[in-house]
Amino acid sequence: MQITSKTEDFVTTKRYDGKPFTQKGHISKTHMRDLTVQLLTPYQIGCDLEQVTIKEDDHWLALLGQERYNLATYVSRSCKEELSVSATRIWGIAESLKKADLHLMETILFNQQKSSQLHYYKCGNHTVLSLSFIAKEANVESVFTTVLVNEFNPVDHEEV
């Protein structure tokens, strides 16, 4: 998938609530420590960047709620990753959905694991990518998620 646009298509201002806004496209921005990711696309989009922190299971349950906690434990077992990584993925997906102005109560479904770091999820008709990585400067494990609000089939794409 290749998206090209002129820079002037994405002149940004801020809404009343501080969220970045652009007239001809969509913008989502996220920060973690010294890292900043900003996505500008013609499509509605949301992104989030979170540091993975180790928490007790009951803490994750309280943060995520039962349904999303169950998904995090399923992903953790299926993908052989720490629960805190999987739970951070699910938390980041919820934040990305919020930033994309999508309903927060939508059911999130695990779709496929492309690699140990890259996972695909579905939420309604929307595809969600979740990438775990080590932020070398800060030396912390992190998770980046983005919601793609268009028809995107990960099976058709070798790399993202």
Where is pLDDT greater, at 2 or 30? 30
Q: Give the phi and the psi of residue 99 in degrees, each rounded to 5.
A: -65, -25
Q: How far apart are CA 99 and CA 26, in angstroms?
A: 11
Q: What is the pLDDT of residues 106-143, one digit of tens each?
A: 789 999 888 889 999 988 888 888 988 887 666 777 88
Model confidence, pTM: 0.78
Domain count, the chain: 1
In 43-89, DSSP assigns E strands to: 45-51
The reply to whether 34 falls in a domain is yes
Q: How far apart are CA 85 and CA 153, in angstroms?
A: 24
The reply to whether 42 falls in a domain is yes
Q: Which helix (H) or strand (E) holds 60?
A: helix 57-64
The reply to whether 3 falls in a domain is no
Q: How far apart are CA 111 and CA 120, in angstroms?
A: 5
Domain of residue 116: give its range: 13-156
